[in-house]
């Protein structure tokens, strides 16, 4: 299991996948946006790997979550920060884990409130399946299916590592 | 389980400490006040976007219930609610001769029948928002937009946000509140907030006739001489002279008041060179403050207005969030039982 979750292997996969897609689509000046918290760490790493000079954006989706009417407001919300104009820009959106797809829906709604991007490429380090919305990553570091008692979490930022937890249930 | 919480402080908090009404700063601890300021910081960023709106209160109805008129407070609450995507109804109800309790109850019943989710209440009677919070249908959040001489908690919190923006901290700060403390609901809330957040000294500067009895018990020192009081200040908050609330001759004259307690360049020069100047507005130029100071480089009066929208977005979304979370828990409990 440990070998399967080697962070560098997964980052290599992401980098290769992203380079391929950028080339296929003829995107030369992408801007990266990471979803807090894990996605922001990955945005930092991938900016360097892909040689993107444009400072990456950080998104806190607390104001856009669809479960406000169930759990209220996240008390630890931080300001989002997009240091570039999203209007007409090709965006790479990054998160650590995708499951239901609800986080990505919220993130895309938020991005559009800054301006209409030309395109969004979705990259996730780990795809756990269990989708509840028709949203799929364009590139994933690894597709995993976990047993009911298992959880996966990205720890970081330095060093970045993937933690597989057994909940014991 | 009883229907009522035993402690009145808990009226505005859920069982696990989330805000569900925002009535007073009494009983709210430093962590919660800091959460409000942090959340407001995030809403300031929203206010800088092309689309200055988030979907948090989409489909909910906010009623601005103003029994006492106030253009600025009402319009910032209205803008805050709209930026949270709520539907807003503005009601200006002048206080009538009918007995307060009864007219309030009737008004409320009618508004609840319109499926309102939140009342923003301003009333000349101290305690009116508490009264409403006690009697309102569960699930409806009450926000105090100023009640009598009691409290104006959103104004105090927007002042705290402004101070934190400019000074980055509260520890070690010397803050003065100058002028008509007696009639000021803001001053009480400010003194409370500054103490909870850890300011070093809160000083009130005013003539004895414009100070409430036992003002020190609120958690402040008193200075009657403004020139002495300005020494070492990091923040000076000027209060508006509430001429409409004055009964009898508490003041010799406006000119005399300005000479003794008005903030001009000479008096400001006695404070710390980076002292910021605040005023809740509307300003009486030449009565509390000289124009050159109000419009000067140390003035942060217009920042206060911008911050007012963010603070109101924060408390509205936090209180609504507390209400919905509480309702969910109760339903879950009901389903189990």
Q: What are the pLDDT digits (tens) for B219-229? A: 999 999 999 99
Q: What is the pLDDT of residue B249?
A: 60
Read off the pLDDT of each residue in B295-308 and give the average, rounded to a whole number. Answer: 95
Q: What is the pLDDT of residue B242?
A: 75
Q: What is the DSSP letter of B218?
A: G
A78 at B interface, C-beta within 8 A: yes
User: What is the SS3 assignment for B105?
Assistant: helix
CA distance A69 to A79: 21
Comparing CA positions, the residue from B239, B174, B175, B176 lying closest to residue B210 is B239
Residues in chain A, pLDDT under 50: 1-3
- Would you list the domain boundaries of chain A? 2-63+78-166
Per DSSP, helices labelled H in chain B are 30-46, 71-83, 100-112, 128-135, 153-167, 185-197, 226-229, 254-261, 265-268, 291-294, 301-336
Q: What is the pLDDT of residue B282?
A: 85
Contact A60 B39 (CB under 8 A): no
Query: In 10 A of CB B112, how many CB atoms?
Result: 14
Q: What sign for the dihedral angle of Cα B189, B190, B191, B194? A: positive
Largest CA distance in chain B: 69
Contacts of A75 in chain B (CB under 8 A): 18, 35, 39, 318
Contact B321, A72 (CB under 8 A): yes
B165 at A interface, C-beta within 8 A: no
Residue in A71, A81, A114 closest to B325 by CB: A71
Backbone angles phi, psi at A150, to 5 degrees: -105, 145
Q: Is the pLDDT of residue B104 over 80?
A: no
Which of A131-145, B58-72, B163-177, B248-262 has the weakest average pLDDT?
Answer: B248-262
Whether B10-150+308-320 shares its CATH topology with B153-304 is answered: yes
CA distance A114 to B47: 11
CATH 3.40.50.2020 for domain A2-63+78-166? yes
Comparing CA positions, the residue from B112, B116, B110, B65 lying closest to residue B87 is B116
| Residues recorded for chain A | 169
Contact A70 B324 (CB under 8 A): yes
Looking at the DSSP bridge assignments, the partners of residue B237 are B177, B278
**Residues B269-290: pLDDT tens digits?**
999 999 999 999 888 898 899 9
Q: What is the pLDDT of residue A27?
A: 96
Which of A20-24, B121-125, B200-204 has the weakest average pLDDT?
Answer: B121-125
A73 at B interface, C-beta within 8 A: yes
Alpha-carbon distance A71 to nearest alpha carbon in chain B (angstroms)? 5
DSSP string, B224-247: S-HHHHTTT-SEEEEPP--GGG--
**Distance linking the first and last C-alpha atoms of chain B:** 13
| pLDDT range class, residue B253, cuts 50, 70, 90 | confident
A78-83 — which CB contacts under 8 Å span 24+ positions?
A: A78/A36, A78/B38, A78/B41, A78/B42, A79/B41, A79/B42, A79/B44, A79/B45, A80/A110, A80/B42, A80/B45, A81/A57, A81/B45, A82/A33, A82/A57, A82/A58, A82/A111, A82/A114, A83/A54, A83/A55, A83/A57
Residue located via tokens 């389903």: B335
Contact B222, B213 (CB under 8 A): no
Contact A169, A149 (CB under 8 A): yes
A88 at B interface, C-beta within 8 A: no
Q: Is the pLDDT of residue B97 over 60?
A: no
Looking at the DSSP bridge assignments, the partners of residue A58 are A34, A81
Q: What is the pLDDT of residue A91?
A: 98
| pLDDT range class, residue B335, cuts 50, 70, 90 | confident
Per DSSP, helices labelled H in B175-300 are 185-197, 226-229, 254-261, 265-268, 291-294
Largest CA distance in chain A: 48
Residue in A64, A73, A76 closest to B321 by CB: A73
B157 or A169, higher pLDDT: B157
How would you classify residue A168: left for phi > 0, otherwise alpha for psi between -120 and 50, otherwise beta? left
Q: Is the pLDDT of residue B52 over 70?
A: yes
Kindly give the pairing relationship between strand A57-59 and strand A31-35. Answer: parallel
Q: Is the pLDDT of residue B99 over 60?
A: no
Q: What is the DSSP letter of B209?
A: G
Q: Is the pLDDT of residue B199 over 60?
A: yes
| pLDDT range class, residue B247, cuts 50, 70, 90 | low
Contacts of A62 in chain B (CB under 8 A): 42
Q: Is the pLDDT of residue B3 over 80?
A: no
Contact B38 A78 (CB under 8 A): yes
A84 at B interface, C-beta within 8 A: no
- CA A15 to chain CA centroid, Å, is 13
Substitution target in B44, B52, B139, B324 with the highest count of A β-carbons within 10 Å is B324
CA distance A15 to A47: 10
B53 at A interface, C-beta within 8 A: yes
CA distance B97 to B101: 11
Comparing CA positions, the residue from A130, A137, A70, A145 lying closest to residue A107 is A137
Structure tokens of B32? Answer: 């919660």
Whole-prediction pTM: 0.90
Looking at the DSSP bridge assignments, the partners of residue B236 are B176, B277
| pLDDT range class, residue B72, cuts 50, 70, 90 | confident
Contact A63 B18 (CB under 8 A): no
B153-304: CATH number: 3.40.50.1370
Alpha-carbon distance B61 to nearest alpha carbon in chain A (angstroms)? 14
Q: What is the pLDDT of residue B321?
A: 96
Comparing CA positions, the residue from B122, B113, B256, B233 lying closest to residue B174 is B233
CA distance B237 to B280: 8
Structure tokens of A103? Answer: 């986080």
Residue in B51, B318, B328 closest to A73 by CB: B318
Comparing CA positions, the residue from A79, A78, A84 lying closest to residue A47 is A84
- Would you list the domain boundaries of chain B? 10-150+308-320, 153-304
B10-150+308-320: CATH number: 3.40.50.1370
Cα Rg of chain B (Å, integer): 20
Q: What is the pLDDT of residue A17?
A: 97
Q: What is the pLDDT of residue B1?
A: 34
Contact B38 A76 (CB under 8 A): yes
Instruction: Tell me which chain B residue has its CA closest to the CA of residue A78.
Output: B42
Instruction: Tell me which chain A residue has its CA closest to the CA of residue B310.
Output: A79
Q: What is the DSSP letter of B103?
A: H
CA-to-CA dists, residue A28 to A54, A87, A96, B136, B187, angstroms: 12, 16, 24, 58, 57
**Residues B18-47: pLDDT tens digits?**
999 999 999 999 999 999 999 999 999 999
């Amino acid at each position: 299991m440990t070998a399967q979750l080697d962070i560098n292997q997964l980052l290599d996969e992401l980098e290769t996948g992203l380079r391929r897609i950028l080339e296929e689509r003829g995107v030369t000046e992408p801007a990266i946006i990471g979803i807090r918290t894990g996605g922001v760490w990955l945005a930092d790493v991938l900016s360097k790997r892909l040689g993107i000079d444009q400072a990456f954006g950080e998104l806190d989706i607390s104001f856009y979550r669809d479960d406000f009417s169930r759990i209220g407001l996240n008390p630890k919300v931080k300001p989002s920060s997009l240091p570039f104009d999203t209007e007409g820009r090709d965006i790479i959106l990054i998160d650590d884990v995708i499951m239901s797809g609800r986080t990505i829906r919220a993130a895309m709604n938020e991005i559009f409130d800054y301006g209409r991007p030309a395109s969004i490429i979705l990259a996730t380090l780990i795809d756990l399946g269990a989708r509840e919305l028709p949203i799929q990553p364009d590139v994933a570091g690894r597709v995993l299916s976990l047993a009911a008692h298992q959880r996966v979490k990205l720890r970081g930022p330095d060093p970045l590592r993937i933690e597989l937890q057994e909940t014991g249930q | 389980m009883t229907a009522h919480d035993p402690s009145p402080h808990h009226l505005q908090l859920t069982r696990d400490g989330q805000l569900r009404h925002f009535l007073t700063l009494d009983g709210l601890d430093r962590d919660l006040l800091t959460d409000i300021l942090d959340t407001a910081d995030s809403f300031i960023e929203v206010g800088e976007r092309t689309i200055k709106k988030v979907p948090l209160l989409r489909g909910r109805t906010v009623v601005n219930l103003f029994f006492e008129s106030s253009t600025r407070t009402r319009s910032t609450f209205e803008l805050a609610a709209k930026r949270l995507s709520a539907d807003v109804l503005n009601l200006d109800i002048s206080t009538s001769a009918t007995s307060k309790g009864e007219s309030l109850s009737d008004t409320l019943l009618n508004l609840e029948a319109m499926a309102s989710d939140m009342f923003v209440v301003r009333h000349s009677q101290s305690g009116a928002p508490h009264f409403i919070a006690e009697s309102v249908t569960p699930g409806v959040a009450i926000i105090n937009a100023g009640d009598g001489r009691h409290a104006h908690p959103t104004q105090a919190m927007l002042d705290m946000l402004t101070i934190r923006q400019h000074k980055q901290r509260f520890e070690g700060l010397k803050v003065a509140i100058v002028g008509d403390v007696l009639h000021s609901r803001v001053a009480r809330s400010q003194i409370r907030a500054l103490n909870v957040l850890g300011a070093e000294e809160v000083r009130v500067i005013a003539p004895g006739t414009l100070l409430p009895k036992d003002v020190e018990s609120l958690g402040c020192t008193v200075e009657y001489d403004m020139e002495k009081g300005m020494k070492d200040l990091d923040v000076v908050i000027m209060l508006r002279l509430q001429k409409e609330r004055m009964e009898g001759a508490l003041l010799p004259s406006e000119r005399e008041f300005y000479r003794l307690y008005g903030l001009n360049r000479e008096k400001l020069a006695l404070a710390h060179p980076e002292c910021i100047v605040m005023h809740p507005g509307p300003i009486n130029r030449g009565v509390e403050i000289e124009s050159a100071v109000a419009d000067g480089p140390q003035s942060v009066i217009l920042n206060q207005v911008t911050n007012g929208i963010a603070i109101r977005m924060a408390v509205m979304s936090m209180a609504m969030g507390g209400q919905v979370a509480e309702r969910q828990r109760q339903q879950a409990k009901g389903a189990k039982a």
